[in-house]
Amino acid sequence: MPIFTKWHAAKNELKKWRYPTYWDMIALCLVLGTITLLALGAKGMATPYHLGEPIPISLDPVNLPYYAFRSVLRMGIAMIVSLLFTFIVGTAAAKSTHAERFIIPSIDILQSVPVLGYLSITVIAFIALFPNSLLGPEFAAIFVIFTAQVWNMTLSFYQSLKSVPTDLQEAARVLQLSAWQRFWRLDAPFAMPGLLWNVMMSMSGSWFFVVASEAITVNNQEITLPGIGSYIALAIQQADMHAIVYAIIAMFMVILLYDQMLFRPLNQWIDKFKFEQLSEEPTSSSWVITLFQHAKWLRHSGRFLVVIWNYFVNFPLFRLKPVAAPHKTEWKQSVSHFSVVLWYILLIAALVVALATLIHFVFSSVTLKEAGHVTWLGFVTAFRVTAMVLLSSIIWIPLGVWIGLRPSVARIAQPIIQFAASFPVNLFYPIMVFIIVTYGLNVDVWSSPLMILGAQWYIAFNVIAGVIALPKDLHQAAGSLDLKGWLWWKRFILPGIFPYYVTGAITAAGGAWNASIVAEVLNWGSTHLVATGLGAYVTQQSIIGDFPRLALGICIMCFYVLVFNKVLWRPLYRMATGRFSLN
């Protein structure tokens, strides 16, 4: 094959085709297995289905691998859609000022809408879109996972595109790359480290929603998609502790697998896109990459992929050059000026109409007094979120500093915490119900920790990372000045880790808001515990299918999150990046 020989010539490598090795066999099994599984999953997703029909879920642990696979598949599809969305919308926002003014505030609002709120609203629409097929609920679940993943990815991509170094931009222009080539050769690779990091964050965070979105009750209709989430829902319904344990084990295996198969290879691959190798620690190693490097045929097909990739980037149709704009005539200028004004008028009109419709829809059945009550519920949940973020800060700042100061401990603790962060904590909720019921505890108080159970790890992780990132000479200076006790905390550690802590706390607060929808209503068999709060309100309205009240609840939660962001987190973040930044 001529293509391969050329590569050999360029890379000075062995030209001889060796006999297949064990590596080849393992890799072959991996690839064939993946293909078979994908076909199986696709078949399962397109099964005929009518609303109201029960979908059989079995608690037999034999079925768990298949259920887990279906859940992973949903996650994967959502991720692909998220990436497409990111490439298109993120690029549009970065390249066009007019699009930017509309997209960025929209994402800001969209990401403060509780993720599970999307589910209740969209599932009916999706079922109507695909009548007589399970594809409707499937897509609703995938859509929810998508909304849990996509916003931070798009924002990160947009911010990266906005900060492509001027010299590289100029080089791309002098070399006369087409817009298509420029995107794949300059923009996308430059944004890759930030994007991949956000992909990993998103995937970790979205397990929670995968589990929560598979078994849903909307409008008194129970839909259970085959998946690990439905398995857990059934286990909770039947109060089957064994099944819960099986599910936890299965989830553990899934996360371990994708950590090994996906995150580690990605982590190693990211290094290629970084400008300089900054980290002193040895680059992360991955057995999957080793495997792919050792299996000859995989390497060859890898090269084949490179050739295809190059063809894709240089696809003739997309080689249209950006035409150098000659000076605009006055007439053209006024036309483009006019169309811009028109665009904004349309945008504002659409916004007003949408708002009016929403208000009319909500207040056609909800009284102002009830709206006031829902706002109060929102306040209760806001108080809970704040208290829990504070509580986990009080626990994790000292603990994180302790760990961060001991490199050997940190090396062990960091992967564990990363792992814990991606574990869907809703699996542990039944245990809390059990405790509350057994000891007769107050639901309003004791359901609160569940909200932060998953989100606390972001604080822990960031505090540890912050301590590690503090320069050694600062540690030594603090030591030689004999800073001790409170002074050491006040003048050295706390300001030092502040930027990291703020980042962690913002993520944790967001996670807690999202979790409130699940954490304020707890079920175990025939036991139903309901805490006072906005999350419980949204869940209950969703179950009975009262859409005006559901919309009200979601809007108010969205409002609270936005206010917290503007009043508290943004200023703190600005302070962190300005005054407390080490650079």
Residues that bind another protein (CB under 8 A): 6, 10-11, 165, 167-168, 170-171, 173-178, 181, 185-186, 189, 192, 272-277, 307, 310, 313-314, 316, 319, 322-326, 578-579
Nearer to another protein, 53 or 271 (CB): 271
Helix or strand or coil: residue 124? helix
DSSP string, 493-525: IHHHHHHHHHHHHHHHHHHHHHHHHHHTEEEET
Report the distance separating Cα 98 and Cα 389, nearest Å.
37
CA distances for 420 relative to 53, 255, 389, 424, angstroms: 36, 10, 17, 8
Nearer to another protein, 167 or 473 (CB): 167
Nearer to another protein, 166 or 364 (CB): 166
Query: How far apart are CB 304 and another protein at their closest, in Å?
Result: 13
Report the distance separating Cα 413 and Cα 557, nearest Å.
34
Taking a C-beta distance cutoff of 8 angstroms, is the pair 209, 148 a contact? yes
First to last CA, the chain: 52
Query: How far apart are CB 185 and another protein at their closest, in Å?
Result: 7
Report the distance separating Cα 436 and Cα 528, nearest Å.
11
Q: How would you class 402 by CB atoms within 10 Å of its CB: exposed for 0-12, middle for 13-18, buried for 19 or more?
A: middle
- Among residues 521, 506, 528, 554, which one has the least CA distance to residue 358? 554
Query: How far apart are CB 289 and another protein at their closest, in Å?
Result: 16
Helix or strand or coil: residue 275? coil
DSSP string, 44-113: HHT-B--TTPPPP----GGGHHHHHHHHHHHHHHHHHHHHHHIIIIIHHHHH-HHHHHHHHHHHHHHTTS
Nearer to another protein, 6 or 373 (CB): 6
Nearer to another protein, 167 or 281 (CB): 167
User: What are the structure tokens assigned to 84, written together?
Assistant: 């497409």
Query: How far apart are CB 104 and another protein at their closest, in Å?
Result: 22
Nearer to another protein, 321 or 360 (CB): 321
- Among residues 536, 507, 538, which one has the least CA distance to residue 519? 536
Query: How far apart are CB 169 and another protein at their closest, in Å?
Result: 9
Nearer to another protein, 15 or 472 (CB): 15
Q: What is the largest CA-CA distance in the chain?
A: 81
Nearer to another protein, 323 or 368 (CB): 323
Nearer to another protein, 302 or 372 (CB): 302
Q: How many CB atoms lie within 10 A of CB 329?
A: 9
Question: Tokens 């609270």 sit at which residue?
Answer: 560
Report the distance separating Cα 152 and Cα 112, nearest Å.
11
Query: How far apart are CB 573 and another protein at their closest, in Å?
Result: 15
Nearer to another protein, 242 or 579 (CB): 579
Nearer to another protein, 14 or 323 (CB): 323
Q: How many CB atoms lie within 10 A of CB 284?
A: 16
Query: How far apart are CB 317 and another protein at their closest, in Å?
Result: 11
User: What are the structure tokens assigned to 514, written together?
Assistant: 């999202």
User: What are the structure tokens assigned to 372, written together?
Assistant: 């006031």
Query: How far apart are CB 188 and another protein at their closest, in Å?
Result: 10
Question: Tokens 């808001």 sit at which residue?
Answer: 513
Query: How far apart are CB 266 and another protein at their closest, in Å?
Result: 15
Tell how strand 221-224 and strand 215-218 pair up: antiparallel
In the 8-state DSSP scheme, what is residue 273?
G
Query: How far apart are CB 398 and another protein at their closest, in Å?
Result: 27
Nearer to another protein, 186 or 421 (CB): 186
Taking a C-beta distance cutoff of 8 angstroms, is the pair 49, 134 a contact? yes
Taking a C-beta distance cutoff of 8 angstroms, is the pair 498, 580 a contact? yes
Nearer to another protein, 276 or 330 (CB): 276
User: What are the structure tokens assigned to 131, written together?
Assistant: 């009548």
Report the distance separating Cα 415 and Cα 291, nearest Å.
22
Query: How far apart are CB 173 and another protein at their closest, in Å?
Result: 5
Query: How far apart are CB 269 and another protein at their closest, in Å?
Result: 10
